[in-house]
Amino acid sequence: MDLSGEAWRAPVDRSRDARREPGPINLQRYQFTPAYAGIATLFGLPLCLNQDDLRAGAVDVAVLGAPVDMSLGHRGAAFGPRGIRADERVLAHSPEMLVSDSTRVHPFEVLTVVDYGDAPVDPLSIENSMEPIRAMVREIAEVGAVPIVLGGDHSILWPNAAALADVYGPGKVGVVHFDAHPDCANDLVGHLASHGTPIRRLIDDEHIPGRNFIQIGLRSAVAPDDALFEWMRENGLRTHFMAEIDRRGFHTVLEQAISEALDGPEYLYLSLDIDVLDPAFAPGTGTPEPPGLTNRELLPAIRRICHETPVVGMEVVEVAPHLDPGYTTTMNARRAIFEALTGLAMRRLQLPGPAYLHPDVGGPAPG
């Protein structure tokens, strides 16, 4: 095997492979496969390998892994895609068995969802990995499907959101950003591509205007410093710190954030750094910050945003399975993706908002 040059992104020669018709490939051999058996795709979904497969399958949502952690400083997030796909803690994970407990929507009956494998990454260079990730996200968006990207560290926000701006147009995509950290520094110890700088790259490259970033959950003791805080103000970022959430209440802040997200952009990208959750709910991450959101706050918010706003892509980043002894972090990451898929299905079904719950499980409305 030649490991020189760009072997990490060179396609395997498949000229001798058996020919097949384009379309999703179901990797499940048996009618019932326990969650801990078989080949791991997210929720046991079929696999697509190229745009022809996506088109032939009329795919609505494609899950892509971006296994990078060279920019984090704490290694382990590169195993996030594998961990999120494989670490199911229930007996079965067949998509057709899954139903939202809050809305009674079966997202996999409404949407055609597939796993798209992983983007090529250079294991020794975060800079080299950015463009290939961007190209793979663009492949999904170009056929009209919604990419859901599994990180990896938060550097991938740069190529992910830029790819959607490539497809939908610069200035037309906004970002709803759940995170404990602002991620808009100019550089991290001299590196422009890092998990702390993707928003600066997107704004400086004019892919996404500063006012189209809606940030929720910031609370770090080290960032933003005074200079970065001033830069955020000057560039119009709309940021909701945990201090505001504590004072005004999460639901009030979420209502404002949804209103802000719809103020300007035609489309939205949802960026979830798992460390927005309190470490009690997400210990498996490289930069935990107490005190954070609970999963009872975050998960319905993800569903609402995907239901009530024009979300065209999503990422879940900074999951580090080796730091996750109880599988709590991967479990919440998977559930966040399921809630997003439920919200997208609710939007397809044109269910009413805001904060829709099925009447049989939601009880009487307040007041």
Distance CA 235, CA 251 (A): 26
Q: β-strand 267-273 against 113-118: which pairing, if any?
A: unpaired
Is 305 inside any structural domain?
Answer: yes
Distance CA 317, CA 83 (A): 12
Is 267 inside any structural domain?
Answer: yes
Question: What pLDDT does residue 93 have?
Answer: 61
Structure-model confidence comparison of residues 256 and 3, the more confident one: 256
Non-local CB neighbours of 42 within 8 Å, separated by 6+ positions: 63, 84, 85, 115, 150, 334, 337
Task: Give the domain extent around 219.
Answer: 42-358
339, amino acid identity: E
Write out pLDDT tens, residues 118-164.
Answer: 999 998 899 999 999 999 999 999 999 999 999 999 999 999 999 99
Confidence of residue 111 (pLDDT cuts 50, 70, 90): very high
Question: And the tokens for 60?
Answer: 């609505």
Is 182 inside any structural domain?
Answer: yes
Taking 90 as the threshold, does the pLDDT of residue 78 lie above it?
yes
Is 14 inside any structural domain?
Answer: no
What is the model's pTM?
A: 0.95
79, amino acid identity: F
Q: How many domains does the chain have?
A: 1
Is 17 inside any structural domain?
Answer: no
Is 294 inside any structural domain?
Answer: yes
Q: Which of 153, 130, 132, 127 has its CA nearest to residue 75?
A: 153
Distance CA 244, CA 251 (A): 11
CB burial of residue 275 (10 Å; 0-12, 13-18, 19+): buried
Is 262 inside any structural domain?
Answer: yes
Question: What pLDDT does residue 14 have?
Answer: 77
For residue 76, the domain's CATH number is: 3.40.800.10
Angle (CA) 76 145 99, round 5°: 75
Is 274 inside any structural domain?
Answer: yes
**CB–CB of 178/299 below 8 Å?**
no
Write out pLDDT tens, residues 210-222.
Answer: 999 999 999 988 8
